[in-house]
Structure formats: structure tokens, C-alpha cells
Chain A
Amino acid sequence: MSIYLPIAELSVNIFLLLSLGGVVGFLSGMFGLGGGFLMTPLLIFIGIPTNVAVATSANQIVASSISGTLGHWRQGLVDFKMGGVLLIGAFFGSILGIWIFSRLVAIGQIDTVISILYFALLTGIGLSMLIESSKVIRDRIRRKSVKRKIHYHNWAHRLPFKVRFYKSKLYISVIPPIIIGFVIGILSATMGIGGAFILIPAMIYFLGMPTSKVIGTSLFQIIFITALVTILHATTTFAVDAVLAFFLILSSVVGAQVGVLAANKLRGEEIRALLAIIVLGVATKIALDLLVEPNEIFNLSVIRLVF
């Protein structure tokens, strides 16, 4: 059974969409990620045009991060003030990101740039997850407990415009969070990701936020940034496909809840290592598409329909 997507202007198998959303949702529920970094490239693999994949992915992340934020919010693990400061940067970053995106569409380089960005992002994510999980597995075998520093003092604490973030027990300058938000905003608009993968380590290592508050705060921030990106894409690139988004959201929300349940029952590190391998597999596929001489070196895109 297939469904015609009105904005992508092609029909796809409905079960393919549902299983794609379900699997990405499952992984995101299990690891507490947005899943956009897998959703966008997988959509492109199944033939969805790049701009539609990016814009619709952003829309889907709104739903999955709302689901996630609710849980953290109830437990008081969201630093709204920090989220708000990050959003100031993200607001301007995503506007710049949309502008870059539209320019790349106009000069016909969007596919290439998205491929390169995704290759870099996925390789980084995949390798760091693989190293992290293998370290944990090794330590567990050696029965060694890993001690982590809770608070880092670095350059972020020496800049002006210091503000007190009570929830995170921080007294730092607003400049680093605004810059981080700005960068995430650009990436979100151009790649259709929430950016948790970059945001979370940045919040821990650059801002020195307590780990317990990081996930909730980043999810909270991602709701608004992806919401903004969705609106910006809908109004400038016209690439948000509501039908595609609907099926992805429905299946990913269910998948995410199952993933949360599974996370409580399964051992994390082995699955994390497996996810790392999936991520690296996707990265390899993207790299091959860039490096291997294509069968058809010409590609056609319709720029104006009469109708």
C-alpha cells in the first residue's frame, strides 16, 4: 500500500514510512536522542528530495522532543532559563541557516553540502559512541568504576555578562550559551536535526552544566528551535510535507515509547555499540555516494511547473 506525498510529489510505501519512523523513534527513545541525524539521511536514501527530508525531519523532531521533555520536566530536570538563553542564539542561527539553505538550493549544491555535513556529523557521532561504549564495556569487565568530574571551570566562566542559572547551579557569562545556540540553530535549519548530539556535550564541557539537567534542557530547547525551523522552511523553501511528517511522527512517537521501555530492560553499552555501527554504516553509504563515480553524472531538477 502506498501513499502519495503532496509536497515531495511522489508516492511511497506506507509500511516503509511507518517502519522507518518506528525504528528511528525506538532508537531515539532508547538513547534519549532526537533521531533527526538518522531520519534525514534515511529519508534521502528512500528517495525523498533533500529539501523535503530536511524540513519534514525538523517537524518530526518537534513531536519527539515534546514527548521527551514532558518526562524530564515532571522530574524538575529542565533549566528553562538556560534553555531560553540558548534559544536566543538558536533563533538567529536558524535564520542564517535557512538563508544558507535557500542559497544552496538556488545554486544546486544542497545535496552535496548536506551529504558532506552528514558524513562529518555521523562519523563523529559513530566513532565517539563506539569509543565510549567500548570503554565502558572494558571497564565493566575489569570491574572498574569510572569517576567523572561534575563541574568544569574553564574560559566560559571568565567572560562578561555573567548570569546566575539557579537550576544548573551556575554563574557564567551568557555569551557561550548564545554562541552554542547559534551554531545549533544553523545546523538545525540546514540539516533537519535537533542537534542534541552536539548540544549535550557542549553544555556539559563548555558550560559545565550538571549532567542530570542537560538532557531535559536540551530537549526543551530543541522543541522551540525545530518548531521555528519548521515554520521557516514552510514559508521559505515550501518543503515541509505534512503527510510525510504525519506518518513519521505517529510511528516515531510509538517507537520512542517502546524504546524507553526497552532501555530499562536491556544493557545499554552493547546496544549503544550497535547503534554506533548503524550510524557509521549510514556515514559510509553517504561517503561512497560522494566518492564513487556515479552511473549517471547528470542530475535533473524541476525548477518551475506551469501548474
Chain B
Amino acid sequence: MIKQLIILFYFLTGVLTPSISIALVIGSDQEEIYIDANFSGEELLVFGAFYSDPSQSRDSKSDILIEVVGPPEDVALRKKDSYFGFWLNSKSVTFRDVPGFYYLSSTSELTDEFLTNNQIGLLEREKSEMIDWSSLTTDWGSIINEKEKEEFFNALIRTKQNDSLYKQVSDEIEIIDGNLFRSYIDIPNTVPVGEYTVNLHLIIDNEVSQEYSYKFMVTRVGIEEAIYSFSKNYPFFYGLISLIIAIIIGWSGAEIFKRFRRI
């Protein structure tokens, strides 16, 4: 099941000169991803169109960049060390307000310099030497060494990548007819609920020419939402009901099979 989030993204050019004028047409049949009992991850479709400015020189290069940023969360990152042959958690760092989901995709490989200059990206910091710690509130615990901090930061991104929650790619946007683009973004079943921001950038000759952002929600619905909020708001009754279900099934199971055996 592919729920589509349709964005029509028109860059109409040459209507009003001299600057490039843009008309955005946004169509969206759905602005939410619902986590219901059948939820097993989804594919988010982002598509649109862009038109090159005729006044632009022919050899200029147009690129599309799509960035999806999930809701912030606090995470504890723990490092295992070997103690007498056992691998046990030792040092721990708490990162505050890191995106629960992050996706960055572009039509061509972008340089770290470009991303840093335009303040796009999170993953590029993995490679860059200048790590911008200021944007993160971090509780370093016992760690004071800069090198170790960097190791932890890289591990944060790596573990998120392993869980398919962080991703940076340059080959997932399909270009059709030169000015239509389409991209399917994998939303894994472990995504956090909350508000997500999609940022689209049209890049011409390594300069951001146009930007557009919109938001969508990932929400629990139906029985999932009911159970989740009940367990948080009325934990005692939630536990009690879980027990009652266990008692009923356990009891009736025994009774049904007892009769079944007598026959």
C-alpha cells in the first residue's frame, strides 16, 4: 500500500522578467502517515516539476535536493567495552533533540562544502573536520576528549543509519523528461511519531535557487493509539485489563480443551 503525498512543485519561468518567477502548485491527497495495526513501514512519494529559466545559460546545471527531518528526540548512546572477556556497556552520552528520522537525497553528489554553506544536512558532519557541536545539546558524561566526542558523534549517525532511520543518497530521485522528478522515500516501521518537515531545494550551478518546505505528520491511529495512550494515562487499569485478558484466555483455553478431550 503506497499512500501518496503529492506535491506539485512548479517552477514556471519567464512569466515575469527579469528574475525567475515561480508558481507553486501543491497537491496533496494525504498529509499524514498513519501507524495502525497493519503498519509495517511505508513509501513516501515526493514528486514535482521544475523548469529551467530560458535566460539561464545552456550549460548550467540543475539539481534537486530533498531533505526529510523527523521529530526531535533524546537518545542515550552507549559504548561497549570488554571486561574480563565480557562485552558490557560502559560509557554513555546523551544527545538531546536529535532528529528521530533524517533523509537527504539529491540528483547529484553534493559536496560537504555546499551542505555546510547552506546549512543543510546532518550526516555530512561525519566527514567534515569542523563539527558543529553547538547545534546539539549533549550531555557528555565522563567524556572530555575531543577525539572521543567525535567517535560518539559518528557512532550516533552510524547506529541511526543501521536502523534505516538516517540516510543520505544521491541516486534515488528519478528525473523524467528533464523537468519532472519523482522520489520514493522509505519510511521504516520503527519511525517515531510526530511532525516531519520536507525541504525541497532547486539548486542551479551549486547555488540554492528555490526552496520549498512542507510538513506532514506520523500519527498512531485506531487501536494502536487507543492502547498506547491508555497504557500511558491509566497504567494501573491497563495492567489490570492485560491481566483480565490473560485470565480469560487461560481459563477458557483449559475449559474448551477439557471438553474437547472428553469427546
Binding site for B on A (CB under 8 A): 2-4, 6-7, 9-11, 59-60, 62-68, 70-71, 108-109, 111-112, 116, 227, 230-235, 238, 240, 242-243, 245-246, 249-250, 253-254, 256-257, 260-261, 290-294, 296-307
Majority-rule SS of A interface residues:
helix
Q: Is B247 an interface residue (CB 8 A)?
A: yes
Minimum Cβ distance to chain A for residue B23 (Å): 35
Q: Are the CB atoms of B239 and A303 closer together than 8 Å?
A: no
Query: What would be 13 A-B contacts, judged by CB atoms less than 8 Å apart?
Result: A60-B246, A68-B254, A108-B78, A233-B239, A234-B239, A242-B227, A243-B37, A246-B245, A249-B250, A296-B159, A298-B156, A298-B158, A301-B76
Q: Are the CB atoms of A261 and B194 closer together than 8 Å?
A: no
Q: Which single residue of chain B is at the shortest CB-CB distance from A71?
A: B254
From A240, A253, A254, B231 is in contact (CB under 8 Å) with A240
Q: Are the CB atoms of B250 and A9 closer together than 8 Å?
A: no
Q: Are the CB atoms of A2 and B245 closer together than 8 Å?
A: no
From A254, A290, A293, B253 is in contact (CB under 8 Å) with A254
Q: Is B140 an interface residue (CB 8 A)?
A: no
Q: How large, as a class, is the contact surface on chain B?
A: 35 or more
The 5 tightest CB contacts between A and B, nearest first, are A234-B239, A63-B250, A253-B253, A66-B250, A298-B155
A292–B87 Cα distance when bound, in Å, is: 8
Q: Is B192 an interface residue (CB 8 A)?
A: yes
A111–B87 Cα distance when bound, in Å, is: 11
Q: Is B111 an interface residue (CB 8 A)?
A: no
Partner-contacting stretch, out of B12-20, B56-64, B88-96, B117-125? B88-96
Q: Are the CB atoms of B159 and A305 closer together than 8 Å?
A: no
Q: Are the CB atoms of A303 and B75 closer together than 8 Å?
A: yes
Minimum Cβ distance to chain B for residue A215 (Å): 15
- Given contacts A59-B246, A238-B232, A257-B254, is CB(A111)–CB(B238) below 8 Å? no
Q: Which of A234, A293, A301 has the most CB of B within 10 A?
A: A234
A234–B85 Cα distance when bound, in Å, is: 35
A235–B75 Cα distance when bound, in Å, is: 23
Q: Are the CB atoms of B227 and A6 closer together than 8 Å?
A: yes
Chain B residues in 8 Å Cβ range of A4: 35-40, 189, 224
From A112, A242, A254, A301, B242 is in contact (CB under 8 Å) with A242
Q: Are the CB atoms of A293 and B82 closer together than 8 Å?
A: yes
A111–B80 Cα distance when bound, in Å, is: 12
Q: Write out, one digit per residue, whether chain B residues 237-263 have a CB within 8 A of any chain A CB (1) or not (0).
A: 011111101110111011101000100
A63–B231 Cα distance when bound, in Å, is: 20
Q: Are the CB atoms of A257 and B100 closer together than 8 Å?
A: no
Q: Are the CB atoms of B247 and A63 closer together than 8 Å?
A: yes
Q: Are the CB atoms of A66 and B251 closer together than 8 Å?
A: yes
Minimum Cβ distance to chain B for residue A119 (Å): 10
Q: Are the CB atoms of A303 and B39 closer together than 8 Å?
A: no
From B155, B159, B231, A6 is in contact (CB under 8 Å) with B231
Minimum Cβ distance to chain B for residue A12 (Å): 9
Q: Are the CB atoms of B242 and A240 closer together than 8 Å?
A: yes
Q: Is B74 an interface residue (CB 8 A)?
A: yes
Minimum Cβ distance to chain A for residue B198 (Å): 18
A67–B248 Cα distance when bound, in Å, is: 10
Q: Are the CB atoms of B254 and A9 closer together than 8 Å?
A: no
Chain B residues in 8 Å Cβ range of A233: 239
- Given contacts A249-B249, A257-B257, is CB(A234)–CB(B224) below 8 Å? no
Chain B residues in 8 Å Cβ range of A242: 227, 231, 238, 241-242, 245
A307–B235 Cα distance when bound, in Å, is: 18
Chain B residues in 8 Å Cβ range of A3: 37-38
Sample of 14 further A-B pairs with CB below 8 A, known A63-B249, A116-B86, A234-B238: A62-B243, A63-B246, A66-B247, A108-B76, A108-B92, A233-B239, A249-B246, A291-B85, A298-B80, A302-B73, A302-B74, A304-B73, A305-B193, A307-B192
